[in-house]
A and B are shown apart, each in its own frame.
Chain A
Amino acid sequence: MSGNTIRGSAAIVGAALAGLGEAPGRSSEEIAIEASVKALAEAGLTTRHVDAVFGSLPGNSNPLSGLLIAEMLGIQPKFTDNNRTGGSTFLSYTQMAAMALKEGLCETALIFYGSNQRTASGKLISSVKPFTYEAPYAPIFPATSYALAASRHMHEYGTTREQLAEVAVAARAWANLNPAAFMHGPLSVADVLGSRMVSSPLTVRDCCLVTDGGAALVMTSAARARDLPKKPVYLLGAAAATTHMNIVAMPTLTETAAVDSGRRALAMAGLRPADMDVVELYDAFTINTILFLEDLGFCKKGEGGAFVASGAIAPGGRLPVNTNGGGLSCVHPGMYGMFTLVEAVQQLRGEAGQRQVKNAQLALCHGNGGVLSSQITNILGTEATL
């Protein structure tokens, strides 16, 4: 590929998880650092190699966590990015890291996340304060915002609660193949429909988990990546798009900015949706998966419900989606974006065990932040796809 792009210029050379599910007695910082140390170790690098740090911690526990985690690890970075766009943020860190690496601003980038929200508070730790013009009506943040979008999708396209439930059922089927997933065991459409209603049409099984967990990635230039122990996973495309912050300001409730981020990320990679072997979508709620399948071009607008109900995204289906079990059944420690990336890396390295997608060469990861607000798409590939 020619042209002014970051396609293939940087690679992920280390990827690790920590504290998945429950990590009693451990702080968010400690979970982030455990993941960081593990990711550096598998990359064959140490903290002394790291000269750029990207990351954030949940809520307002420490908004300057980009500084804090670097300090705790004894890193004095040349480049620090503590950008916050919600759970999508991490897919912008990979983009920024690739840009900084390509421009020679740094040589080794560490990307981190850690959260102890489950054992510390038992509920979602949100970074968002109630909005003046929504708070009087007491929506549950963020579930009611997604529920409103779901209600509109059902109204316009005839999407059903059963079809929403199929997303959760497929995620659980993948989780059952992943020993690291928090939720295991059978889950049926009837189970999802019969579970506690949170904010209609979404039941508790249409909503992501509340878990602890952390993850870290190490990125370096493509040239340097080839000398490191792990099979490099290259960033082939990345793009972000934002339409709003609060659900009242979302231009079209049934179409997200993933239309735009996906199109540009795929264009940078020179690829089409049909080229993807594995797809990791930020499934904060079941409606997300349906919206993103449509908006990213895996099916037509309005046909996401039928697409998931056909079994397409479940193990054995024609499009492997959320192969770790997703935010619905694997892990959701407040911000999930990192976990789409780590799972894609494991799939592209062929390290995904029982849930391994055969001969996976290309992955699309998609992050969502706020309430369908920030949409960021990354395309990852093996050396064969460069």
Chain B
Amino acid sequence: MTAALPASAAWTQGPGPDLVYAQYLANNEFRIQHCRSCGKHVYYPRLACSHCGSVELEWVRASGRGVVHAVSVVNRSADKGGPYNVVLVDLAEGPRMMSRVDGVAHDAVRIGMAVRARVAAGAGEQPCVVFDAAEVAA
């Protein structure tokens, strides 16, 4: 297969994927990339598809559905806010991301839990995507 560059040079111009992603988040939108070439989804944001190398990536709304793949509880001291969870979530679209599960006790997060995404405040001032336990849907 010959890897052809797109006819348009648009992918070399304007804000890069990191910045575009951050702008979507600032508007309370969780978007991921979809590769027009291989059809797979990409997260975290990149300039070239991590599956096939194509630069024909488009932004799509994430379904927000995911499943906890791995979990760790960071044992922060009580005076600094106490323990908190860090998870890897497998998104319904395929990619895996780091996040946290809110709204449940830090030690109640389980591998295999169905979760749903929400844009929230991160550890810093930038917004980030977190998850809530999802109602188990049919």
Contacts and interface: CB of A to CB of B under 8 A. Distances in A.
Interface in B67-120: 69-75, 84, 86-88, 96-100, 111-112
Contacts of B73: 197, 199-200
B86 A136 contact: no
Most buried by B among A151, A197, A253: A151
A139 B18 contact: no
A135 B124 CA distance: 8
Interface string B121-132: 011101010000
Contacts of A300: none
Contacts of B50: 249
Most buried by B among A139, A150, A196: A139
B71 A148 contact: yes
Nearest to B72: A147
B44 interface: yes
A147 to B, nearest CB: 4
A132 B127 CA distance: 12
A155 interface: yes
A148 B75 contact: no
Interface string A124-168: 000000001111111110001001111110010000000000000
B111 A139 contact: no
A282 B124 CA distance: 33
A144 B87 CA distance: 10
Contact of A248 (B72, B98, B100): B98
Most buried by A among B50, B86, B96: B86
Contacts of A253: 69-70, 88
B74 A196 contact: no
B75 A196 contact: yes
Contacts of B87: 148
A152 to B, nearest CB: 5
Task: Indicate the size class of the contact surface on chain B.
Answer: 20 to 34
A199 B72 contact: yes
A291 interface: no
A79 B47 CA distance: 35
A144 B74 contact: yes
A136 B126 contact: yes
Contacts of A148: 70-72, 86-88
A139 B98 CA distance: 9
Contacts of B122: 135-137
A247 interface: yes
A247 B74 contact: no
Contacts of A144: 72, 74, 86
B128 A151 contact: no
Contact of B86 (A132, A139, A150, A155): A139
A331 B50 CA distance: 37
A259 interface: no
A253 B87 CA distance: 13
Contacts of B126: 136
Contact of B123 (A136, A198, A201): A136
B31 to A, nearest CB: 14
Given A136-B122, A148-B88, A149-B70, A197 B98 contact: no
A342 B75 CA distance: 35
B72 A152 contact: no
Contact of A139 (B44, B74, B96, B112): B74
A45 to B, nearest CB: 46
A137 B99 contact: yes
Interface of A: 132-140, 144, 147-152, 155, 196-202, 247-249, 253
Given A132-B18, A200-B75, 12 more contacts: A134-B98, A135-B123, A137-B99, A137-B122, A137-B123, A138-B86, A144-B86, A152-B70, A200-B72, A200-B73, A201-B72, A248-B96
Interface of B: 18, 44, 50, 69-75, 84, 86-88, 96-100, 111-112, 122-124, 126, 128
23 contacts: A135-B122, A136-B123, A136-B126, A137-B100, A137-B123, A138-B84, A138-B86, A139-B74, A139-B86, A148-B72, A148-B86, A148-B87, A148-B88, A149-B70, A151-B70, A151-B111, A152-B70, A155-B111, A200-B75, A248-B44, A248-B98, A249-B50, A253-B88
- 3 closest Cβ pairs, A-B complex: A136-B122, A136-B128, A147-B72
